[in-house]
Each structure stands twice: as structure tokens, then as C-alpha cells.
Structure 1
Amino acid sequence: MTNAKRSLISMVIVLIVTVLGLAFSWFAGTGGAQWNGYPVLYLCALVAFAVNWLAYIPSALARTEKYYDFVGSLTYLAVITTAVILSGPLEIKAIIAAVMVAIWCIRLGSFLFIRIQQSGHDSRFDQIKVNPARFLVAWSLQALWAIFTAAAALAIITAADRGTLDLFFWIGTLVWAGGFAIETIADRQKHAFRKNPGNTGRFIQSGLWAWSQHPNYFGEIMLWTGITIIALPLLSGWGWLVLLSPIFVTLLLTKVSGIPLLDKSAKNRWGDDPAYQEYRRKTPILVPRPPRQPSHRA
């Protein structure tokens, strides 16, 4: 396939991604707060694309992905801030939802930014950052990712009637807190493992990583599910579209860019290692389970 054809296909993908993100946010936001006749959720989507496209320009010129994850976190902060500003006076439920997203994206964004600064590059972008059109696809998809992922939180913030701190709120908050704790602990354990020179060339199988091959991803799915639970009593009509939030996160991490890519890389590095084969055999891929104890025969 020629470069011209690849570029054309990439631009078509960018168009589809943009239309999908804007259409989703328009319909999902019709029952929520409005600003000058536009759903606030829709305006948040415009901000998400604008942030990523503006960041794309210098990144494409420099052919660097070093700021990709940082801009991803900035996108969440931008859309949440936009929703807070344009939705008028906020009640406690909306404030807490905004704080949840802010805490998550600041923690994860700083972690990913520091990691790429230390590693030097992200191998996912080796083939696409040299092609401006393909690189733009990545930045556009990041905007769409933020829109879909944060949809439930945005629905809470922009809801016309946010309701009280009901049972859904307390259950959702507990689920969010558990997911945030799991993701944070798993990331710190893996970071500490990699910093130890004695672990060079080895794979982690301790801590939460003995309970799950991808505990950080389980934590992320869990925390967005928690926010969606909080949003449930506020949804009606097209607003039910925001239930796509945890579904999208789950599919993305388990079928597209998360587990499949990491597992492929891990199999290339340790696929012939009996210890790695045993680890994969006895350890759940996603949902944590206490490590199996070795059997003792008389």
C-alpha cells in the first residue's frame, strides 16, 4: 500500500472518529445542561478534540510521542473543567464526580509522563509518528477515548437534577475507591520492580501481579464502573448512552490496545520461559484471584 493511500485511509478514520465522538456527545447530552443552545456534553467533546489536535501539531513536527499521555490527562481535566464551568452551580454529587476524575487523571497522567521521560519513547508509535496522517489518528482516538470514558462523570456534572447522595452514590463511590486503590498500588509495584537492577529482563509476578496478570487494568475498569453506578439514577432517554463508558474502557483494554499488545510483547520476550508459562497458566488475565498455593504430596 502506498503512503498516499495510507494517508487517505487515515484521514477517513479521523473523520469517522470525529463524527462519532460529536454525535455521541450531542445525543447523550440532550437531557443535561445547555449553553447557548448546545448540550454542555457536546461542547466538552469539542474541547477534547481541540486539545488533542493542537497538541498534535508540534508533536507531528518533532515526530515525538513524549507528550501524548500527558495531553491525554490534560484532555480529561479540560473536559471536566468545561462541564463544571458551563453547568452552573454544582451540588455535592457533581463536585465529587469532578474530583474523582481529576484525582485519577492527575495521578495516572503524571505516572505515565514520568515513565516515558525515563524510557525515552513509546514503541506503539514507532511506525505511525513518521506519517502525519496516521499520527493524527492516534491523537483523534485519544480525544474519543476521553469522551467515551468520562461520559458518565460528565452526565453527573451536567444533569439537570443531580439528586441526593443515595445508595447508588455510596456503592459507586466504594467501587471507585477500590478500583483507584488497585490501579495505584499495581502501578507502584511494577514501577518499583522495574527500578530494581536485579529484575532486569524479568517479569513481575509479585504483589497484586500474583493475583492478576493485569491488575492495573482491572482497577481502571472498576473505577469507571463506580462512576457509572453513581450516574444511574440521573439517566433518562438518550442519556443512557453513557453506559458505554465502562463497556468502552473494558473492550479497549481487553480487546484492542491494552492486554493484547502487552501479552504479545510479553510472549515475544518470555514465551519460552517455563516460569512465565506457569505464571500465565495459574494467574487470571484480569479479575484478581488469590494465588494458588502449591500442592504438597506426602
Structure 2
Amino acid sequence: MSRTESLLRITAAYAVALGVATAWLLAGPDTAWVWLDALVADVLATVVVFVASRMHHNSSFYDAYWSVLPPYLVAYWWWAGPRDLADPWAWLLFVVVGFWAVRLTANWVRTFPGMHHEDWRYPMLREQAGRWELVVDFVAIHLFPTLQVFLAAVPAYLLLSRDGRPIGLLAGIGALVGVAAVALEWAADRQMKEFVATRQPGESMDRGLWAWSRHPNYFGEISFWFAVAVFGMAASPEDAWWVLAGTVAMVAMFLGASIPMMEKRSLERRPSYQDVIDRVPRLLPQRPRRAG
């Protein structure tokens, strides 16, 4: 299957998934909470993507869903909430989330080679699960990321479900942090692309942003979701005690799963990566240590 046909099939699956979600939101039974209606729709869309993944024997069908759904959620919460179409705070939030989604989705489209490719972690997880591989495929690879992104997006719901409250400076700070986070991710991806095009066999990346953090792209992703949480704090300060839950979950995922798996694989493929580990901070950007 060609790369173009692969992308068209994924796009069609997402169109069906969003169609199912929209049909539920418009015609399905309502719950007592708009956020819960959105969660049910999100899970139903995830099931559609999961079915498409199984039909094509490739769980990377799900990968772009991470960045496609948040703008949809924000748009629905805005439409269902009290803020009108001209509300500047809703627009500011939507633009920041849209900026993040466009960059991340475009980067995925640029790097996705076609249906013959699947993220190396997915077959490993399914193989380790044995006879439970179907359950692990749905829960760990599809449903869990959906719930995690939804939790991190809930602060946006706080802003869009409240009208008439002064927001001011804090939302502006959230916007600046969000834009800066997306710019950092873009720069990190660009630097990695340039490195991959010219690297020598066995060479490990430790240039530019990657000299200050072994995973600047993950730091940018965490920073973006922190920015969304700041928007929620601005709209509802009394909820500040829990509004960072999504950001904390992101940190836990990257530190507890994504980074250890990536670094183990890097060491297996490039023993020189141990030198990078010895010199370059793991996640939070800091001045790199000297070798030896």
C-alpha cells in the first residue's frame, strides 16, 4: 500500500470516528454534564479508530488521534457553552490549541512512511500480552491515551463553560507558554530531522536543544499541556488544586514509560548513547555537563 493510500485510509477512518462522535453529541442521550457527553463521544470515536487499526493490522492508525481530537473537543465545548463566537478568551484558547494540533499532526504526516510502518512499541506490547493482546491493544494503545489527553484537556472546558468572569493576565501567560512550547517542539523536530539526514553510523543526537535535554520534544509537550491548565486556572481559580492533574499524568507517562522505553532502545542500537545519558539532562533543559 502506498503512502498516499495509507494516509487516505487513516483520514477516512478519522472522518468516520468524528462523524460517530458528532452524531452522539447531537442525537444521543445527554448526561448531566457537557464534559461527560464529550468523553462518551471521544471514547466512541476511539473505538472506531481501534476497529480500523485491527482491520489494517496496524495500531499506528491511532497515532495522529492524539493531536486531532483536542481542537474538536475545544470547538464542541465552545459551541455548547455560554461564551459567544466573539469571545476573545475562547478564541485565544482555540488558536493556541489549533497551533499545537496543526504542528503535531503535520509532523506526523511528514514522517509517516505508510501502512507498512508501525510504532515499534506496539508489537512489543502485544507480544508481551500473549493471549490478552486484544485487550492490551485496545486499553493500553488506544483507550488509555484517549483518557489521558481528555484529562489534560479538561481545563479548556473550565474556561469555555464559564462566562462573565474576569480572566486577564493569567490566560495571557498560558497563551505565551503554549506558543513557546509548540515552537520548542517544532525546533526540536527540525533539528532531529537535520541530524538524521547527516548522522554517521552509531552517532547519537546531542546538538542544539538536544544538548540541553535528551527529550526536548517531550518537555515541549508537557509544557503545552501545562499552558492549557493555566487557561483553566485563569477561568476557575478555585479548581487550581486539581486542574494540573492532566499535566502530572503527562509527566508520569513520559518519565515512567515513554522515556525509559526510548532510552533502552537507543542504548541497544547505539552504545554511544550512554555518553549522552552521562552528559545531558533527562527532561528538564539545563546546561549540559562536560564529558568525563
Gaps of 5+ in 1: 1-34
Q: Which of 253, 276, 282 is the equivalent residue of 1:279?
A: 276
* Contact 1:156-1:231 within 8 A present in 2 as well: yes
Letter in 2 for 1:39: W
Q: 2:138 aligns to what?
A: 136
* Contact 2:155-2:229 within 8 A present in 1 as well: yes
Q: 2:121 aligns to what?
A: 124
Note closer, same or farther for the CA distance 1:240–1:161 as it changes in structure 2 (3 Å cut).
farther
Q: Secondary structure at the match of 2:282?
A: coil
Q: Secondary structure at the match of 2:63?
A: helix
Q: 2:14 aligns to what?
A: none
Q: 1:233 aligns to what?
A: 234
Letter in 2 for 1:191: K
Note closer, same or farther for the CA distance 1:200–1:94 as it changes in structure 2 (3 Å cut).
farther
Q: 2:261 aligns to what?
A: 261
Report the TM-score when normalising by structure 2: 0.78
Q: 1:173 aligns to what?
A: 175
* Offset, 1:277: 2.8
2:97, 2:289 → 1: CA distance? 35
How many pairs align?
255
* Offset, 1:136: 1.1
Letter in 2 for 1:177: V
Note closer, same or farther for the CA distance 1:58–1:227 as it changes in structure 2 (3 Å cut).
closer
Note closer, same or farther for the CA distance 1:59–1:293 as it changes in structure 2 (3 Å cut).
closer
Q: Which of 44, 56, 60 is the equivalent residue of 1:62?
A: 56
Q: Secondary structure at the match of 1:219?
A: helix
Q: Which of 132, 145, 152 is the equivalent residue of 2:148?
A: 145
Q: Which of 64, 87, 93 is the equivalent residue of 1:97?
A: 93
Deviations 1:4-31 (A, max 9, x none): xxxxxxxxxxxxxxxxxxxxxxxxxxxx
Gaps of 5+ in 2: 1-28, 128-132
Give the 5 Å matches for 1:1-298.
Answer: 38-88=32-82, 89-90=84-85, 91-117=87-113, 120-128=117-125, 131-137=133-139, 138-164=141-167, 166-196=168-198, 198-235=199-236, 240-256=241-257, 258-271=258-271, 273=272, 276-292=273-289
* Contact 1:156-1:162 within 8 A present in 2 as well: no
* Contact 2:159-2:235 within 8 A present in 1 as well: yes
1:160, 1:36 → 2: CA distance? 22
* Contact 1:41-1:155 within 8 A present in 2 as well: no
* Contact 2:178-2:228 within 8 A present in 1 as well: yes
Report the TM-score when normalising by structure 1: 0.76
What is the aligned-residue RMSD (CA, Å)?
A: 2.6
* Contact 1:116-1:122 within 8 A present in 2 as well: no
* Offset, 1:43: 1.7
1:290, 1:162 → 2: CA distance? 41
